[in-house]
Amino acid sequence: MEDLVTQLQSLARQVHEVGADETTRANLARLLKTPEEIANEEAKRKLASQKACANTMRRRQESEEVRKAHARATSARNKVRYHTDPVFREKMKAAQRERYQRAKVAAHISE
């Protein structure tokens, strides 16, 4: 088995020296590596993937927290405006009536 591996590595070196396209060179370079080197590369790749996944999850959580904070701030502003601005209050009531009518129609259609 080791003899076969040695022959393959020798052949890979010869082809590599002659020249080949990028994909072939990458495949041949992989053949020339020891199993330990391949395992180390796989471990590095897996670690990088895990870090990227963790960063993505962290960014999603942060953006969700920011979205919730903005929603709370908007809600607080709207509550104040509702009690101080009569035009805004009428708009909000009209929007609520519209939502109620749509829900009523949707419930009637689904029956």
Q: What is the mean pLDDT of residues 81-107?
A: 95
- d(Cα 21, Cα 2) in Å, to the nearest integer? 28
Q: How far apart are CA 10 and CA 73, in angstroms?
A: 69
Residue 21 lies in a domain: no
| Cα–Cα distance for residue pair 73/81, rounded to 1 Å | 12
Count of domains for the chain? 1
Positive or negative CA dihedral for 8, 13, 14, 16? positive
pTM of the model: 0.48
Residue 14 lies in a domain: no
pLDDT at residue 1 greater than cutoff 90: no
Residue at 23 is within a domain: no
Contacts of 32 (CB under 8 A, 6+ apart): 9, 12, 13, 16
Range of the domain at 44: 33-110
Q: Give the mean pLDDT of 50-69.
A: 96
Query: How far is the C-alpha of 36 from the C-alpha of 46, rounded, in Å?
Result: 15
Averaged pLDDT of the chain: 87
